[in-house]
Amino acid sequence: MTGAPRSAVGAVVLAGGTSRRWDGADKTRAVVDGLSLLDHALAALPTEAAVVVVGPERPTPRPVRWTREEPAGAGPAA
């Protein structure tokens, strides 16, 4: 369809829970093959996607927008 507006691609990565099943260890910082699990998740997303990460801010190789759930640490159900 000519002249049709391009659709925006976006993603939300949930990374703000308390990691109860990991005995409180931050699973998004766990390293596999030299990258954190968060960085693996971000790398799997299309490069044109605008990304929002729900969780505590940390350095990432990809630019993302950060936000926190209310209350912080309550996970995606909050």
DSSP-derived pairing of the beta strands 31-32 and 65-67? unpaired
Q: How confident is the model at residue 12 (pLDDT cuts 50, 70, 90)?
A: very high
Distance, in Å, from the CA atom of 69 to the CA atom of 48, rounded to the nearest integer, reads 25
* More reliable by pLDDT, 61 or 30: 61
45-71 pLDDT, tens digit per residue, is 999 999 999 988 999 999 999 998 887
> What is the domain extent for residue 32?
10-67
Q: Is the pLDDT reported for residue 24 higher than 90?
A: no
Q: Within a domain: residue 5?
A: no
Cβ atoms 47, 5 nearer than 8 A: no
Enter the tokens of residue 27: 């699973």
Q: How confident is the model at residue 75 (pLDDT cuts 50, 70, 90)?
A: low
Q: Within a domain: residue 15?
A: yes
- How many domains in the chain? 1
Q: Within a domain: residue 18?
A: yes
pTM of the model: 0.76
